[in-house]
Structure 1
Amino acid sequence: MGETIRIETLDGADTFSGYLATPSGSGPFPGIVVIQEIFGVNAGIRAMCDDWAKAGFIALAPDMFWRLQPDVDLSDKTKAEWEEAFGLMKRFDIDAGIRDIEASLRAVKGLADSNGKVGVVGFCLGGRMAYLSATRTDSDASVAYYGGGIDQYLGEAHAIARPVLLHFAEDDGFIDKAAQAKIRDALSDHGRVTLHFYPGVDHAFARVDGMHRDNAAATLANGRTLDFFRAHLR
């Protein structure tokens, strides 16, 4: 269903790769930019794009690490892969990543079968980037799954102009209770933000074939995300 395409940077000086999955049939279709975890555009992210396409959305997963190491494709199964992934995350430039997400949003909007509305969904590092997409880009709707570091960017919440949905694991090993409390306090009364906290599950509970996947929580969160995008991208 999917294919690898080239995405032009905002300044037109370079291109980077992205995995694009498109629905069958005739459009126009809403779009979703799918932002990877620290493991790159791997099999799990590509499978998510394929699932979004089956649900009637154009799905594009840009290579967020292309400036560091193009075509990263790791899993959470070995210590060596974790070490490589964390090394890439530590070197990742947030501001450059936002520019690449903006370029990806434009790429989807420019497709012939796009309906002109494009949202963002991200996981882990991608969850942080999805939140920042809501504050710094023209994403029409943004969803973050267990976005690490969101608590450090709550000062940008005033810039959220379009709907945002945030999913958190209450027993997250990377986002502690204090960080979760800061997020609740800052965003629970924000008119454009919806928060969901999932008890008894850990970080990456929705990762495809992940070590901490919880099928019940993943199914609930994914259903809420689908309803959210159907409501705001049609």
Structure 2
Amino acid sequence: MVNLTRPDGTIAEDLALSRRTVLIAAGYAAFDVGANAQPIATPADGLVTGWETLPGGLPAFVARPAGAKGSGGKHPAVIVVNEIFGVHEWIKDVCRRFAKAGYVAIAPEFFFRGDPDKTLTKLTDYAAIRVIVARAGNEQVMGDVKTTLDWLGGQGFVNKKKLAITGFCWGGAVTWMAAARFPELKAGGAWYGRLKGDPGTEGRKWPLEIAADLKAPVLGLYGALDKGIPVADVQEMQARLKGSKSSIMLYPDADHGFLADYRPSFNAAAGKDAWERLLKHFKANGV
């Protein structure tokens, strides 16, 4: 219900505010919800969806085609790595999109130790968000990826020879790092993940430093208008990937978060093209 905020009735700004409030209440990350966003809502019919608790207490949202369990059917699987806002409604929808395409999609809650009350989706203070995210160091995250890979390998509905990973923003960088770490992965898709950090940050390396170590081909999906990831960094990564099976697609009119249809930076054309390219990339590499 829209509340009238003035005697002469509701104006466009009132409706936009109401729309944003509705989306936040529905579980989208409050920090960057677009006032006029109309995010895709993928139906769960024909799917099995819900939370699983992996070893070590790691929570993970899973979406998969119905009928796979107990039917002898095995599906390729993809690990979906969240943005800095954790596993919120948009990440769940991405999992459902993958499941509709025939994948078992799993989104681990990498920040659950530092955010046991799941406050990330409600926070609008970027500094507070960064404090929580920083608690998940690179080695811990890589350990959680390993836990997820092991769990997938033990499920009767998963083809353990067909495993991929994709991630967004924070998760885009994780995707590059995981592809250099785990030979179980056959393909990766890195959406606008940071490629370079400050020297010594978290005592870790960054994607540009491990480009030669990739064990799985990664498709990078980046926007030239991204203010946080200079085009020069993308071009440097492209140069380091030359001659390998990995590559980067740079969209000239896209900004950071261009696939995220709940954000103001959503770019429908770039998002559609990139999603189709990612699915082709997975299939071309046997996933």
What count of residue pairs does the alignment treat as equivalent?
Answer: 226
Aligned-partner residue type, residue 165 of structure 2: V
Q: How does 1:16-31 map to 2 (within 5 A)?
A: 16-26=58-68, 27-31=73-77
AA in 2 matched with 1:2: T
CA shift digits 1:192-229 (9 cap, x unpaired): 21210001111000113112110100000001111112
User: 2:137 aligns to what?
Assistant: 93
Residues of 2 paired with 1:226 and 1:71: CA distance? 34
TM alignment of 1:125-144, pairs within 5 A: 125-138=170-183, 139-144=185-190
Structure 2 residue corresponding to 1:147, chosen from 185, 190, 193: 193
Q: Return the letter of the residue paired with 1:63.
A: E
Q: Post-superposition shift, 1:119?
A: 0.5
2:155 is aligned, of 96, 108, 111, to: 111
SS at match of 2:80: strand
CA contact (8 A) 1:41 1:71 kept: no
Aligned partners of 2:100 and 2:116: how far apart in 1? 27
The 8 Å contact of residues 34 and 59 in structure 1, kept in 2 or not, is answered as: yes
Q: Quick check: which has more Rg, 1 or 2?
A: 2
SS of equivalent to 2:194 = coil
TM-score by length of 2: 0.74
In structure 2, how many angstroms separate the alpha carbons of the residues matched to 1:49 and 1:196? 22
Which residue identity is paired with 1:94? N
AA in 2 matched with 1:20: V
- Taking the aligned partners of 1:227 and 1:120, their CA distance within structure 2 comes to 14
| Residue equivalent to 1:161 | 215
- Does residue 84 of structure 2 align to residue 38 of structure 1? yes
CA distance in 2, matches of 1:73, 1:206: 23
Distance 2:267 2:117 in 1: 28
Choose 190-199 or 41-50, whichever is displaced more.
190-199
Aligned partner (choices 137, 146, 168) of residue 123 of structure 1: 168
- Superposition deviation, residue 79 in structure 1: 3.3
1:22 aligns to what SS in structure 2? strand
Taking a change above 3 Å as real, the CA distance of residues 233 and 19 of structure 1, as seen in their structure-2 partners, is farther
In structure 2, the CA distance between the partners of 1:99 and 1:181, relative to structure 1 (3 Å rule), is same
1:222 equivalenced with 2:275 (yes/no): yes
Q: Which residue of 1 aligns with 2:53?
A: 6
Are the equivalent residues in 1 in contact too, given 2:238–2:247 (CA < 8 A)?
A: no
CA 1:73 to 1:228, structure 2 compared with 1: closer, same or farther past 3 Å?
farther
Which of 142-151 and 170-179 deviates more? Answer: 142-151
Q: 1:141-179 deviations in whole A, cap 9, x for unaligned?
A: 111000113574323222212221111111101101332
Q: Which runs of 5+ in 2 are unaligned?
A: 1-47, 198-205
| Structure 1 pair 184–32 and aligned structure 2 pair: CA distance change class (3 A) | same
1:202 aligns with 2:255: yes
* TM-score, normalised with respect to structure 1: 0.89
Q: Could you give the per-residue CA deviations for residues 3-55 of structure 1, whole angstroms, max 9, x where no partner exists?
A: 100111xxxxx221000111124421000000000000000000000111111
Which 4+ runs in 1 deviate beyond 6 A? none
One-letter amino acid of the structure 2 residue matched with residue 154 of structure 1 = L
Q: State the 1:232 CA deviation.
A: 2.2
Q: Aligned with 1:72: secondary structure?
A: coil
Residue 200 and residue 83 in structure 1: after superposition, are their counterparts in 2 closer, same or farther (change >3 A)?
Answer: same
Q: Is contact 1:40–1:73 with CA below 8 Å preserved after alignment?
A: no
- Counting aligned pairs with the same residue, the percent is 28
Aligned residues of 2:181 and 2:215 also touching (Cα < 8 A) = no
Conserved? CA contact 2:52–2:61, under 8 Å: yes
